[in-house]
Chains A and B, each alone.
Chain A
């Protein structure tokens, strides 16, 4: 399993908000650990969200009103679920779109060749 190095963690921090917003757009609500597992599952272990990076991002988005939370009792303890607000839905679309544009421009600069598949 490929372990993310420090450089990749730096790149990951820059697009963590977009990743979280995209995941929450695809799923009605998710809790913190579920988000880390989902990223690992989608990328087959290539990307690992660290807890120290994820929770500050979730809290910041919640404070800004992009996300809202709801509690549910699971296995005798409270679990905090995050979901997009109405303004969060719009912000999710624009954040993902901006990141996609950024990646396209980055590819032009780095002159990356597309993979043959």
Chain B
């Protein structure tokens, strides 16, 4: 027995009220609710009874025991606004797990560039970059570093544009998906480091009237270029390895 639009709308509202804010998790839970309720209805249950059963298990996920405080009032201690139980807690744990694993995997990939035998390639690239730094004018090096810092943005941009378009066409409830949101965090790290580099250079010029000696600039530029090359390659590897979302 298929659910009516009103019933589907009720399920959707309960998920959103429960704290769901990512499209991929929303779709997964919605699909589960619909299948579970339809199965129960096929066995003779009413929609309300079936929905109550399915919903109760998600809502009671990690629900803590209520505490009798000093004044004899039952109280649930909150965690600074973070969900303590239910669908929101499920989402928060998923987000935390995914962010942790992405971060761990990203640094594993970065470290692999400094292990044998990839270390040989890394050293050759470093040497080539250092030699190249003498020949290329300073302003072009800043553009090279800027391009490398923005490679992660370019990788994610098509998916972000498509998701935003579908959201504004009301074909999605949320702009963000959890996977894209978590890998975007790694992208912002790259941009933050680039911003830090620009600010440190400007501040040293303004505050200390210190212009980097040509030799020092070559060394710094070569090191930064190598770092950003490694970061961009590692980001691409991370993205295509586990978190690539197909354009649809």
Contact = CB atoms under 8 A, between A and B. Distances in A.
Interface of A: 31-33, 37, 50-52, 55-56, 59-60, 62-65, 68, 71, 74, 77-80
B35 interface: yes
B27 A80 contact: yes
Contacts of A63: 94, 97-98, 100-101
B233 interface: no
Contact of A55 (B54, B62, B90, B101): B90
A62 B54 CA distance: 23
B94 A77 contact: no
B32 A32 contact: yes
Given A52-B61, A65-B101, A59 B31 contact: no
B58 A52 contact: yes
Contacts of A79: 31
Contact of B242 (A52, A56, A65, A80): A65
Contacts of B242: 65, 68
Interface in B27-48: 27-32, 34-36, 39
Interface string B3-31: 00000000000000000000010011111
Nearest to B60: A52
Query: Interface centre among B24, B28, B100, by most A CB within 10 Å?
Result: B28
Contacts of A55: 28-29, 32, 90
| Interface bracket on B | 20 to 34
Given A51-B57, A56-B94, A65-B105, 17 more contacts: A33-B31, A33-B36, A51-B54, A51-B58, A52-B57, A52-B58, A52-B60, A56-B93, A59-B93, A62-B98, A63-B98, A64-B101, A65-B242, A71-B27, A77-B30, A78-B31, A79-B31
Interface of B: 24, 27-32, 34-36, 39, 54, 57-58, 60-62, 90, 93-94, 97-98, 100-101, 105, 242, 246, 248
Contact of B32 (A51, A62, A71): A51
B97 A60 contact: yes
Contacts of A33: 31-32, 35-36
A50 to B, nearest CB: 5
A63 B100 CA distance: 8
A59 B27 contact: no
Contacts of B90: 52, 55-56, 59
Nearest to A79: B31
Nearest to A78: B27
| Shortest 10 CB-CB contacts between residues of A and residues of B | A52-B61, A63-B97, A59-B94, A63-B101, A33-B35, A78-B27, A63-B98, A80-B28, A51-B57, A33-B32
A89 B57 CA distance: 30
6 contacts: A33-B36, A52-B60, A52-B61, A55-B90, A64-B97, A71-B246
Query: Interface centre among A31, A52, A79, by most B CB within 10 Å?
Result: A52
A59 B97 contact: yes
A65 B104 CA distance: 11
A15 to B, nearest CB: 19
Contacts of B248: 71
A62 B39 CA distance: 27
Contacts of A71: 27, 246, 248
